[in-house]
Amino acid sequence: MAYITMRQAITDALREEMILDESVFIMGQEIGVWGGTYAVTRGFYDEFGPKRVRDTPISEMVIGGAAAGAAMNGLRPVAEFMTINFAFLALDAIVNHAAKVHYMFGGQMKAPVVYRAPGGGGRQLGATHSHTPDAIFAHFPGLKVVSPGTPYDAKGLLKSAIRTDDPVMFIEHHTLYQLRGEVPEEEYTVPIGVSDVKRAGSDITIVAYAKGLQVALDAAEKLAAEGIDAEVIDLRSLRPLDMGPVLNSFQKTFKAVIVEEGYRSYGIGAEIAARLQEESFDYMDAPIKRVAQYEVPLPYSQELEQSALINVDRVISAVKEVL
C-alpha cells in the first residue's frame, strides 16, 4: 500500500487510464501548461502532448458541450471544471445532452464522458464559489454522480468512471485534496453505485459522504470514548444510490443521523431519510436527524464560513439527541 493524498490518487487514476486507453483525453481551463487549478494534471502536457491534454477557452458551455460531443463520437473525455459552481453554465450539455442521448436514441448512442469538478466550502472562496450542489446533479436520470471521501475510493471510482459508457459527474471536495490514506499500488477499481461501511457499530447509524464522511468518522471516534458505538456508512455514489448497507445498518441500530455539507432543504439527507421511512419504518425507534450546512450563502470570513458548515460537535449533538 502507498500512503498518498487524494490529489495524488486522482492524478494516478487519470495517468493510468490515459496510458491504458488512447481514446481517453483531458480538457479544461489551464489543465495543460499550468497543470490544473489544484495541480492534479501537472506534468500531463509534457507526458501526453497537446492532442490529449487540451487547454480550453474560459467557457464552461464550450467545455461541457465539446466533451459531450467528443464522447458521442467515440472518445472518452475527462473534462475539468475549475469549480462545480461553474458547471451551472454547462447544465444544458450535461443534463440535456450527455445524460439523455443514450435513452433518446434507443441505446444507439452513448456518452462516456467524465466531468470532474471540485466543490464544497471551507476554503474561503466566497458565496459564488463554495456551493455543494450535489443533489442538483443527482436529480437527473442518465447521469451518474460520484463523490469520494477517501484517496482509495477517489482513485478506484475515477477509474471506473472513465471506463463506464455513461456520463459521470465526479465531485471532489476542495478540502480533501491533502487527505492521506492507503491506496494499493496494483491495479484496482471501485464499482460505482455501491455504498461502504467505513466503521462498524451497534448503537446508531451515521450516513455520510465526501467531506461529511471525515466529519462523521471523527465524531464517531469521540462518541466511542463516551461509550457510544456509531456505525458510519459512506454513500460514495449519489446516483445510482445504494441503500443496501444503509438499510442493513438501520435495521440493526434503529436510529440514524445523516451528515451532508449541502443544504438541508431538498438535499441528499432528505432523500436518505425518506427512503429509510419508506423501506424500514418498522425499525425506526426515533426521528431521523440531518446535519447539514446552514442555509445561507457561504461568507468569505473564515470564522463565519466555518460556523455555517458541518462540524464534529454538531454531529455529536445530533447523535445524542437521537439516542
Grid-cell match 444510490, residue found: 241
| pLDDT of the residue at 37 | 87
Query: Is the alpha carbon torsion for 314, 148, 133, 267 positive or negative?
Result: negative
Structure confidence by residue, pLDDT tens digits, 211-253: 999 999 999 999 999 999 999 999 999 999 999 999 999 999 9
Q: Which of 97, 102, 129, 174 is catalytic?
A: 129
All three cell numbers of 127, joined, read 458565496
Number of H helices, E strands in the chain: 12, 14
> What single DSSP character describes residue 317?
H
Strands 168-173 and 196-199, by their bridges, are unpaired
Q: Is 129 noted as a catalytic residue in this protein?
A: yes
User: Minimal CA–CA distance to 216: which of 311, 317, 322?
Assistant: 311
295-298 long-range contacts, Cβ below 8 Å, gap at least 24? 295/263, 295/264, 295/265, 297/127, 298/121, 298/126, 298/127, 298/130
pTM: 0.97
| Alpha-carbon gap, residue 74 to 63, rounded angstroms | 17
CB 151 within 8 A of CB 204: no
Q: Is 131 noted as a catalytic residue in this protein?
A: no
CB 162 within 8 A of CB 24: yes
Q: Which of 17, 60, 231, 261 is catalytic?
A: 60
Assign 3-state DSSP to the chain and report helix, strand, coil percentages, each to 5. 40, 20, 40
Q: Domains of the chain (ranges plus CATH)? A: 2-183 (3.40.50.970), 196-322 (3.40.50.920)
Q: How many CA atoms lie within 13 A of 317 on its CB side?
A: 8
Name beta bridge partners: 208: 234
pLDDT averaged over 10-residue windows placed end to end, the chain, 323 residues: 97 98 97 92 96 97 98 98 96 98 96 97 94 97 98 98 98 97 97 98 98 98 98 98 98 98 97 98 97 97 97 98 98
> What single DSSP character describes residue 103?
H
